[in-house]
Structure 1
Amino acid sequence: MNIAKNLEQTAKFLPNKTAIIFEDLSITYSQLDEKVNQLASGIAQMGIEKGDRLALFMPNIPEFIMIYFAAQKLGAIVVALNVLLVKNEVQYILSDCGARIIFAGKDQAEQVPMDEVESLEHLILVEGDENDSRHLNRILDKSVHTFKALDMDAHDPAAILYTSGTTGFPKGATLTHVNVLSNISATIYHAEIKEKDILHLFLPLFHCFGQNFIMNSSVKRGATLVMHKRFEPGPVVEAVRKHKVTMFFAVPTIYIYLLNMKDEDLDMSSIRYFFTAAASMPPEVADSWHAKYHMPINDGYGLTECSPFSSYNHDFKHKPGSIGHPVMNCEMKIIDEVGNPVAPGEWGEICIKGPNVMKGYWNKPEATAKTIVDGWLLTGDVGTQDEDGDYFIVDRVKDMINSAGNNIYPTEIENHLYSHPAILEVAVFGMHDDVKGECVKAAIVLQPGTTLEPEDIIAFCRTKMAKYKVPQQIQFVDELPKSPTGKILKRVLRAGV
């Protein structure tokens, strides 16, 4: 077993099929596999072997995919870093995982603390001057055309993906070969990815969504990836038209942005499949998209610790706003504070069990033991299940607001606010209150050309929710802070307001 065998098989049976389109570059599967083989040989000659940690610190470029699969062929463990990390954050992750080698983009290389990470031996540049002795091309073994992937045990680690570290230092979710391969199978089955499909990839490859759900699934199926370094509306929309993209993957904030583009600037006619994950999709946004394009946004749920795909609401066949049912070979349940299953309609913590659940947090057995109990991963997400078996996300446990003893879930308030025609984006979060413990605050981005007063927002909420849920503080902002994956960073809002 080895993730890289997917590439070997696709290159064997579809050698001339386009694997990657990036800017003006087009790479076939045979070309991709040959470059991967040359890299694997070159990296092996540097002493990197099975079990070593190999770090990737670069934007979405073809070299990421090449090095990823080269590492897998060797049995090395890929550690992909968020491109926005600064030196001290990079140092923590590299030291924590014990990386021996790091491959970095030109904008990331200066943030690599070579002298401050004891295990780190090599820095390889993937962009810039090819005459630099550290450049990727200098380690290619061009005499090699084939390099057979090492046979790995199903439970050997394949990748370590570090969580965002919303509470303390980030933790490295360790995904095995069977974790990733099971998720690839579930993705291809539920999303019905075809060989002829053209998948858009602008979500970051350092994130589990981009790395496993999109990249790995496309390679396994022999589809084509249209890559972008990052999400930029103009180039992304133009690429849809130029390359006739058929599958579009984005987070809710991107769909919100696209909904507000001029119709003449947005040709989505080639796309047969839209998908969202990584954050809750407001029902009002999904409804607006369906009304405009007459196609639903397929909704998925998962987390890094689950490789990430865990449940799926295909074409909203179950219920709008639902995360549907567990994906193939996966189980879900909802428990109360003492671990007992709750009745339908009651709220509790979502738990997941299956081959997609991580091996554990790297070098953190205590955190692993608290998160995985009897094979069930405790997600930290509050959810509910109705009488038909459909699952719904209520909110993150950590985002819950406790005001005067009342538990308040921001998503409920946000979904209502999104129904206001003047509101473009909103984030609801808790702020310290000397009397109540916490109070409810809403940060709001208005639609261009509109104006509202805080009193308008409060009045709009009072008609639809209990008094204790109504935001006491309203702040209008030009934009909301977001992660590279498009998640709204509420911790930044709490800290900065």
Structure 2
Amino acid sequence: MVSVPSMHPRDFSLDTLLANCAARHAHRLAAVDGPQRLTWAALETRVDNLAHWLLARGIAPGDRLALLLTDGTPFLTTLLACGRIGAIAVLLNWRLAPGEIAWIIGNAEPAMTFVNPRFAGLLAEAEAGEVIAVDERHDPHGAFETLATTALPRGTMPDLAPDRPLYMMYTSGTTGRPKGCLQAGSAVAASALGFAQHRGFLHSERLLSVNPLFHVVGMQQVAAMLACGGTSVFAGRDDDNAAILDLLHREGCTTTSAFPTIAFPWQAMEPIRNGVMPLTNYTGGAGMGRPQIYEFIEQQWDARVIGGYGQTEICGFATFIDYPDMIEAPRSIGWTLPHVTMTVLDPQGHHLPPGAEGELALRGPSVMLGYWRNPEASEAALGHGWLRTGDLGTMDERGRGYLLGRAKELIKTGGENVYPAEVDAIFAAMPEVADAGCCGVPDRQWGEAVKAFVVLKPGMELTRAVITARFKGQIAGYKRPRYIEFVDSLPRDPIGKLLRRELSARPVTPDQAA
């Protein structure tokens, strides 16, 4: 089992974790990416080759290198090479539009951009510096393979501070332009070690990596394999759910964070084959009720379901909750990981007692350094000595946290507060409903009113009147949806988080009145 080193947490980084794996587990698999299977020794060599090539090209500590890549060994190699020489990797979301990519690149000003050819069009409006094409699915004669496998003369590596920046992930920009969240290599390593320690990961762990590495959930899981010496098995970006399930079985993957959008369809795809389901750990969400898929995974697959809560600003999951505790406290996000402390603050930064509602705040070695070139936002998030999450919640006497919702998504109707998660939880218990979410919409009388968006299961029917009747007696009258719109799907981000801001922008019509 993994244990956190006795050294000060800022004395290590992903580079020291890689060096440890290369020494202790040299001939064990570090990564499986399509046809490519890399040992830890081979990954270490490739990282060192690329790091020296970057130095030879004049890349210096603090320079930014943008990564617009699919998940896999080139992404991992490039990220680790940046860490070795002190460059800052700018992790670009290939789901964005060219104009959005151009704004981020203009803000980060990278000296170089590594790009997969399939995403080259996204750079049409960007000044991306020197552009390095990265081969699609490991062409053995491609330019990136040549860089990674060519040994250049070894020079002296820069003398780097332990808490040097490693990467920037840009936030989703729900309240304006996205912010570049700057994370130290030591913070990413602390998060990885805390994650691996809590999960009891051994070097025999095999991660089915399905979350994009430009997102903190995917990054934290792969970093946890660096912490324990396990294997990252990367699903292809073109793989459908059936192909991902086949990969899970073929590679004997033991852990994943395949959110319900992936795992739910597996129920109908013979998930247990020849009496075997290799998956023993499954990470999902928390604090939003108890999805039926979690019960299925626990009972039918005999896998351990763990929910969690976290943020980009703290390198991923900060809390975890096991399935039995989810049943006991369906709205809870659980307890913090070993390296994190949580509290609830009022607007002035004062600590609130158990049960009081306020802003969830986190502290620990995995908290971000700040936002790139945005001192005002950095001060607002970190100025009280805690990371102010922007999420409203409470804590009970046992130190267990409860998520009420984003402060900016709080619905204020007639002077009363409505937390969207409360309304969503009522819909989650309705057998006809496949998905649902609510938001605040303008209302002349009350300032705001609750509007719900409902996706019905195939073949199911449900009327607005029936929904309203079911809400009575379960939730206060002012919290009930005043408008209900039936839709085919809800907008969600890569890890399944509901994009309420998009729902709020949709028109309200009289026929939607409940």
State the TM-score, normalized to the length of structure 1.
0.92
CA drift at 1:172: 0.8
CA drift at 1:31: 1.8
2:413 and 2:33 map into 1 onto residues whose CA distance is 50
Which residue does the alignment assign to 1:224? 231
Kept in 1: contact 2:242–2:269 (CA 8 A): no
1:394 and 1:326 map into 2 onto residues whose CA distance is 17
Kept in 2: contact 1:72–1:149 (CA 8 A): no
After superposition, give the CA deviation of every residue in 1:103-136 in whole Å (9 maximum; x if it has no partner). Answer: 111221111147x53xx420111135999x9943
Distance 1:423 1:89, change over 3 A: same
CA drift at 1:269: 1.9
Does residue 271 (structure 1) correspond to residue 282 (structure 2)? The answer is no
Instruction: Give unpaired runs (5+ residues) of structure 1.
Output: none
Kindly provide the amino acid, as one letter, of the partner of residue 306 in structure 2: N
Which residue does the alignment assign to 2:174? 166
Which residue does the alignment assign to 1:76? 87
Distance 1:198 1:108, change over 3 A: same
Which residue does the alignment assign to 1:496? 506
Which residue does the alignment assign to 1:62? 73
2:391 and 2:458 map into 1 onto residues whose CA distance is 33
Q: How many residues align?
A: 489
Distance 1:143 1:284, change over 3 A: closer
2:289 and 2:265 map into 1 onto residues whose CA distance is 15
CA drift at 1:227: 0.5
Distance 1:327 1:150, change over 3 A: farther
Find the residue that maps to 1:183 and give its secondary structure: helix
Which residue does the alignment assign to 1:381? 391
Which residue does the alignment assign to 2:207? 199
After superposition, give the CA deviation of every residue in 1:385-408 in whole Å (9 maximum; x if it has no partner). Answer: 112221111111111111111110
1:340 to 340, 345, 350: 350
Instruction: Give unpaired runs (5+ residues) of structure 2.
Output: 1-11, 508-514
Which residue does the alignment assign to 2:36? 25
Kept in 2: contact 1:302–1:311 (CA 8 A): yes
Q: How does 1:407-486 map to 2 (within 5 A)?
A: 407-486=417-496
1:252 and 1:333 map into 2 onto residues whose CA distance is 29
Kindly provide the amino acid, as one letter, of the partner of residue 97 in structure 1: A
1:348 and 1:430 map into 2 onto residues whose CA distance is 20
2:315 to 286, 296, 307: 307
Does residue 51 (structure 1) correspond to residue 58 (structure 2)? The answer is no
State the TM-score, normalized to the length of structure 2.
0.89
2:138 and 2:356 map into 1 onto residues whose CA distance is 60
* Deviation larger for 103-112 or 322-331: 322-331
Which residue does the alignment assign to 2:108? 97
After superposition, give the CA deviation of every residue in 1:444-478 in whole Å (9 maximum; x if it has no partner). Answer: 11112212122222222123111111111111111
Kept in 1: contact 2:135–2:142 (CA 8 A): no
After superposition, give the CA deviation of every residue in 1:141-168 in whole Å (9 maximum; x if it has no partner). Answer: 6134978875532321111111000110
Kindly provide the amino acid, as one letter, of the partner of residue 125 in structure 1: A
Kept in 1: contact 2:207–2:254 (CA 8 A): yes
After superposition, give the CA deviation of every residue in 1:235-280 in whole Å (9 maximum; x if it has no partner). Answer: 111112212211121335444x347x32635557211111124x75
* Deviation larger for 23-32 or 464-473: 23-32
2:325 and 2:213 map into 1 onto residues whose CA distance is 29
CA drift at 1:55: 0.7
Distance 1:149 1:375, change over 3 A: farther
Q: How does 1:150-165 map to 2 (within 5 A)?
A: 150-165=158-173
Which residue does the alignment assign to 1:367? 377
Kept in 2: contact 1:37–1:146 (CA 8 A): no
Does residue 396 (structure 1) correspond to residue 406 (structure 2)? The answer is yes
CA drift at 1:194: 1.0
Does residue 215 (structure 1) correspond to residue 226 (structure 2)? The answer is no
Kept in 2: contact 1:164–1:170 (CA 8 A): yes
Kept in 2: contact 1:172–1:362 (CA 8 A): yes
2:154 and 2:496 map into 1 onto residues whose CA distance is 39
2:247 to 235, 239, 261: 239
Kept in 1: contact 2:272–2:301 (CA 8 A): no
1:266 and 1:428 map into 2 onto residues whose CA distance is 36
1:262 to 254, 264, 268: 268
1:487 to 481, 484, 497: 497
1:148 and 1:464 map into 2 onto residues whose CA distance is 67
2:256 and 2:137 map into 1 onto residues whose CA distance is 34
Kept in 2: contact 1:423–1:445 (CA 8 A): yes
CA drift at 1:344: 1.7
After superposition, give the CA deviation of every residue in 1:162-183 in whole Å (9 maximum; x if it has no partner). Answer: 1000110000111112211211
CA drift at 1:9: 2.1
2:301 and 2:459 map into 1 onto residues whose CA distance is 24
Does residue 11 (structure 1) correspond to residue 22 (structure 2)? The answer is yes
* Percent identical residues: 29
Find the residue that maps to 2:114 and give its secondary structure: strand
* Deviation larger for 195-204 or 103-112: 103-112
Kindly provide the amino acid, as one letter, of the partner of residue 80 in structure 1: L
Kindly provide the amino acid, as one letter, of the partner of residue 249 in structure 2: R
Kindly provide the amino acid, as one letter, of the partner of residue 9 in structure 1: N
CA drift at 1:87: 1.6
Find the residue that maps to 2:117 and give its secondary structure: coil
Kindly provide the amino acid, as one letter, of the partner of residue 379 in structure 2: A
